[in-house]
Amino acid sequence: MKNLILVTGGQGRFAKVLKKNNKFLNLYFASKKECNILNIESLEKIIKKLKPKMILHCAGLSRPMEIHQKNIEKSIDLNIVGTANVVKVCKKNNIKIIYFSTGYVYEGKKGNYSEKDPVKPFNNYGLSKLGGECAVMMYKNSLILRITMTESPFVYKKAYTNLKSNFMFHEDLVKILPKIINYKGVLNVGGKAQSVYSFAKLHNKKVKKIKLTIKDKLPFNQTMNTSMLKRLIK
């Protein structure tokens, strides 16, 4: 199939939205059974079958956030080892990898982080995604997307007024994905820099305010500079 893009984590939250709303990309959504990122043979088998031009690597472990503290083995396996396996088969078969990372690789204090800013993950989730990034960076035919996104509609009843971020919905990323997949390197991907409450209020008028505290173990200012993204999608 011409210009086929293999999507790992093909049954995940973002993949389901991508499958529903995709209009321009030739995608194959792989189930965990047919594409086990912890098994090199499984990866090589599906690549031999499909011969994809790119791999959109969405598979991994994200929520609940506490799982990365309580079960570091699982976090390491899925976000670091699994990603390294995908990089290996991409290198062997000359396939581009597009890796879904996170804004959590930044420290989350000063905000407005550019792609060239030093990374210093705030928690184990960020560390696990940075571990995946390290493997991807070793392979030049790659794109790392540091993404801040959530499901639509905004389902939470409360939102932080003093936590700043660049939230966008899954559907927003689907719209711009065709314009950025040919880029290489690292790219910050997100929406307008604002408080989580301000973002939530636009989509859920009933959302209530809540204050972030140190006990919540979350960074206060996760905002990223998305100038490069804006140039690519204009």
102-117: per-residue pLDDT in tens? 999 999 999 999 999 9
Residues of the chain with confidence (pLDDT) below 70: 1
Q: Read out DSSP for 94-156?
A: T-EEEEEEEGGGS-SSS--B-TTSPP--SSHHHHHHHHHHHHHHTSSSEEEEEE-EE-SS---
pLDDT at 1: 58
Q: Where are the domains of the chain?
A: 5-150+168-190+229-233
Task: Tell me the residue length of the chain.
Answer: 234
Question: What predicted TM-score, i.e. pTM, was given to this entire model?
Answer: 0.95
> What token pair was written down for 187?
């790219």
- The span from the CA of 125 to the CA of 101, in Å, is 10
Tell me the pLDDT tens digit for each residue of 182-219: 999 999 999 999 999 999 999 889 999 999 998 887 88
pLDDT at 141: 98
- In the structure encoding, which two tokens stand for residue 197, read together? 């409450």
How many CA within 13 A on the CB side of residue 26? Answer: 9
Dist. CA 22–CA 28, nearest whole Å: 11
pLDDT of residue 180: 98
Give residue 16's pLDDT.
96
Q: Measure the CA–CA gap between 200 and 208, rounded to whole angstroms.
A: 9
Q: Are the beta carbons of 193 and 111 closer than 8 angstroms? A: yes
CATH topology of domain 5-150+168-190+229-233: Rossmann fold (3.40.50)
